[in-house]
A = this chain, B = another copy of it.
Amino acid sequence: MARGATSSVRGDDQEVVRRQRSPRGQGSRLRLELIDAATRLLEVSGDARVLTLASVAREVGIATPSIYRHFSDLGSLVEAVVSDSFQRLDDALVAAMELAKGPPGRLRACCTAYCGFALENPGQYHVLFNAYLGLDPDRPGERPGERVFDRLVGAVAACTEAGVGRQEAPHLMAVHVWVALHGIVSLMTSRPNHAWPPLDELIEATLTGQVGLHGR
């Protein structure tokens, strides 16, 4: 029986030592490893409600109770994962926009990066934007992902200010773009067998139809 042993063997023949203990001052290393492991598991399941402390511990290679040193419960671990994921999504949008030129180019880059993140990390994206995050809907200011939406508003507004595209309320046009992008990535993920047009055509149709952008 491998239980209680200090090492185990994985199917791929790689010996996995039961995770080396962090050196003295660096107990918070495990914290980061826990977030990483939970992120990987959520990427597979796409829902925080099926995540268990036991599975996270297994993924990291520690005993389940060790998690309590770093997180008071599963909820706060998930919270950490979610805020981390939102940050990486936002970073991806900012990085993509920095590389692009001109307001329409930056809006296009923003949309492409948004879809890219969602399609490369469908599970994480689903955790971030599905309805069952376990948020308190009554808590005021409880609007996770609002910063991401604001990037979109900013990118649309820059077009409007530059006289490119339709001269309508940027906030409203951004809503139209957001729902379209969300619909694109959600359905492409959940219906992979559907006959989808190429992603950039879907994005372009959205920008044309909702912001009045034309051509690339």
Taking Cβ atoms with an 8 Å cutoff, the residues of A that contact B are: 45-47, 49-50, 122, 126, 129-133, 137, 142-143, 145-146, 149, 172, 175-176, 178-184, 186-187, 189-194, 196-197, 202, 205-206, 208-210
Contact = CB atoms under 8 A, between A and B. Distances in A.
A184 B191 contact: no
A182 B186 contact: yes
A46 B131 contact: yes
B196 A175 contact: yes
Nearest to A182: B183
A14 B202 CA distance: 54
If over half of A's interface residues share one DSSP class (helix, strand or loop), that class is named, otherwise mixed; here it is: helix
B132 A46 contact: yes
Nearest to A193: B143
A205 B176 contact: yes
Given A49-B50, A193-B143, A126 B137 contact: no
A126 B126 CA distance: 11
A191 B175 CA distance: 12
A125 to B, nearest CB: 10
A184 B190 contact: no
Contact of A186 (B47, B186, B191): B186
Given A126-B131, A129-B186, 13 more contacts: A46-B131, A49-B50, A137-B192, A145-B191, A149-B194, A176-B209, A178-B187, A179-B184, A179-B187, A180-B180, A182-B182, A183-B184, A209-B209
A121 B126 CA distance: 19
Given A49-B50, A209-B209, A210-B209, A129 B182 contact: no
24 contacts: A46-B130, A47-B47, A47-B49, A122-B131, A126-B132, A129-B186, A129-B190, A129-B191, A131-B190, A137-B193, A142-B193, A145-B191, A146-B194, A149-B194, A172-B197, A175-B196, A176-B206, A179-B184, A179-B202, A180-B206, A182-B186, A182-B187, A183-B183, A183-B186
